[in-house]
Amino acid sequence: MKCRRLERKILMYIEGNLNVKEKEEIKKHLDECVSCNSLYNDFLLILENSKKIKIPQLNENLLNALKVTIEKNKISTFSLKPVYIAISIFVLVFSTIFFARIYLPDSKKVLPVSTGPVKIEILNHELPFSEDVIIKYANYMEEEEVEKVLDFIFAGL
Amino acid sequence: MKDKKIFEEYYITHANKIYSVVYRMVNNHQDAIDIVQEVFLRAYKNMDSFKGLSKFSTYLYRIALNLTYDFLRKKKKGRKIENLDHEDFSFYSFNTNFEKNLYDDQIVEDIKKEIENLTDKQKTIFILKTYEELTYEEIARILRKRVGTIKATYFQSLQKIRENLKKKGVIKNEM
Ligand SMILES: [Zn+2]
C-alpha cells in the first residue's frame, strides 16, 4: 500500500527533512488520507507532549564534589597522547599481518578486519619504526579504529 | 593546574547534556548523579587522549550510556552500583517531586509511562533524538549503529508509544 511507504516520510516531514517536492507530496497525501493524517497528528501530539516532561536540574555543586573526589583519590590524568594511540594501533595491525603471514596457510592469508585488543604495554617498548612512518600510517587510519582503542582504554579503567 | 582548568571547561560544556540523558534513562536523580560523576572521572583520567579530538561529546555520551546500561542491568538483578569514594550530595537541597504526578495534562503522564516501556535501546534513541536533538548521524556514531537502523528504531519507538496510547484509549483510533 502507498501509505506504508509514506509513513516514514511523515516523520521526516515533521522533522523538516524533506525536499520541496517530497514535502508537497506528503502535504497533499495528508489532506486526502485519514489514516496518515491520524498518524501525523498522533506523532505531533506525542513529540510535543514528551517535551513537557520535566527533569531535575543538575546540581551546581557536582563539579566541586568531583574536584574533591579527584583530590581525595589522588586521581591523575593518564598521559596517553594520540600519537601513542596511533603507534599502538600501528604495532597491532602490523603484528597481526606478520602473524598471518607466518602462521596461516596460503589460502587463508587474508588480513583480519578487527583490530582486536590492544596492549598498552607496547607503548613502553622501543618500536622498530620511525616516527615518520607511524604518522604516515596514522593518517590513513579510520576514525573508527581510533575509537576502538579509546574504548579499550576506557574499559580497562 | 592546566589539566584541571581544561577539565572544568569540558564539564561546564557537557555535564548538563550528559546528566539529562542519564536521568531520562534511569529516572532517578541520585543514580544519575552517580553515573555522571563516574563519566567525568573517567573523562578526567583520559583527558590527554581527548585533547584535540573533534567530537568529545560522542565519547562522553558513549561512556555515559555504557555506564547507564551497566547500572540498569545491575539494578534488574537487584544489586547496587559500585562507586569510588564519591562525595555525598543528598544533603543539598533538591526537589524530589519529580516522581509524582505534576503535569496539568494527563497525557504527558501517559506518554512518560510509555517512554519508560520502551526497550533500553529504543529509549536511548528516543531521548537522544527528541530531547538532545541530535542528528541521526550523530546518534549512529555514538551507538555505533547504521544510520538506517537508528531511523528505523526511532520510528518504531514512536509507533510503539502511539499503539499503546491507543490501547489505553488516550488517543483515538482513526475511523
Ligand atoms: Zn495514507
Place of cell 497533499: A28
Average pLDDT of the residues in A17-34:
95
- B83 falls within a domain: no
A82 and chain B: CB distance < 8 Å anywhere?
yes
Both B96 and B144 in one domain: the answer is yes
Handedness of CA A58, A60, A63, A64 (dihedral sign): negative
ipTM over 0.90: no
Q: Which of A38-47, A73-82, A136-145, B155-164 has the lowest mean pLDDT?
A: A136-145
Specify the higher pLDDT residue, A144 or B161. B161
A133 and chain B: CB distance < 8 Å anywhere?
no
Q: Name the domain boundary from B75, B105, B127.
A: B75
Both B36 and B102 in one domain: the answer is no
Contact residues on chain A for B57, CB-CB shorter than 8 A: none
Q: Name the domain boundary from B75, B105, B126.
A: B75
Provide, rounded to the nearest whole percent, the portion of chain A with pLDDT above 70.
46
- B172 falls within a domain: no
Tell me how many domains chain B contains.
2
Asked whether the beta carbons of residue A157 and residue B151 sit closer than 8 angstroms, the reply is no
CA distance, residue A120 to nearest chain B CA (Å):
13
Asked whether the beta carbons of residue A69 and residue B89 sit closer than 8 angstroms, the reply is no
- B84 falls within a domain: no
Asked whether the beta carbons of residue A59 and residue B94 sit closer than 8 angstroms, the reply is yes
Residue B121: pLDDT above 90?
Answer: yes
Both B67 and B104 in one domain: the answer is no
CATH of the domain at B49: 1.10.1740.10
Exposure pattern of A45-62 as b/e (b: 16+ CB <10 Å)? bbbebbeebeebebbeeb
Burial class (CB in 10 A: 0-12, 13-18, 19+), A82: middle
Both B98 and B145 in one domain: the answer is yes
- B106 falls within a domain: yes
Q: How far is the CA of A83 from the centre of ligand 1 (A)?
A: 55
Whole-structure pTM value: 0.71
Asked whether the beta carbons of residue B130 and residue A73 sit closer than 8 angstroms, the reply is no
Please report the residues numbered 21 through 40 in chain A whose beta carbons come closer than 8 angstroms to any beta carbon of chain B: 34-35, 37-39
Model pLDDT for residues A107-154, shown as the tens digit of each residue: 444 434 444 443 333 343 444 444 445 444 444 455 555 566 556 555
CATH of the domain at B108: 1.10.10.10
Q: Which of A55-59, B66-70, B103-107, B156-160 has the lowest mean pLDDT?
A: B103-107
Specify the higher pLDDT residue, A89 or A68. A68
Average pLDDT of the residues in A30-37:
95
Q: How far is the CA of B113 from the centre of ligand 1 (A)?
A: 28
Both B107 and B45 in one domain: the answer is no
CA distance, residue A8 to nearest chain B CA (Å):
7
Q: How far is the CA of A16 from the centre of ligand 1 (A)?
A: 19
Place of cell 616516527: A131
Q: How far is the CA of A11 from the centre of ligand 1 (A)?
A: 13
Model pLDDT for residues B139-154, shown as the tens digit of each residue: 999 999 999 999 999 9
Residue A108 CB contacts under 8 Å (≥ 6 apart), including other chains: A100
Identify residue A58 by its one-letter amino acid code.
L
Average pLDDT of the residues in B4-12:
85
Query: Domain residues for B24?
Result: 4-75
If you count residue pairs, one on A and one on B, with CB atoms under 8 Å apart, how many are there?
141
Asked whether the beta carbons of residue A62 and residue B89 sit closer than 8 angstroms, the reply is yes
Both B140 and B108 in one domain: the answer is yes
Both B60 and B113 in one domain: the answer is no
Neighbours of ion ligand 1 (CB under 5 A): A 3, 33, 36
- Classify residue B97 by its DSSP letter: G
- B114 falls within a domain: yes
Give the pLDDT of residue A135: 47
Residue B157 and residue B126 in contact, taking contact as beta carbons nearer than 8 Å: yes
Both B10 and B51 in one domain: the answer is yes
Specify the higher pLDDT residue, B76 or B149. B149
Which three cell numbers mark A81? 597522547
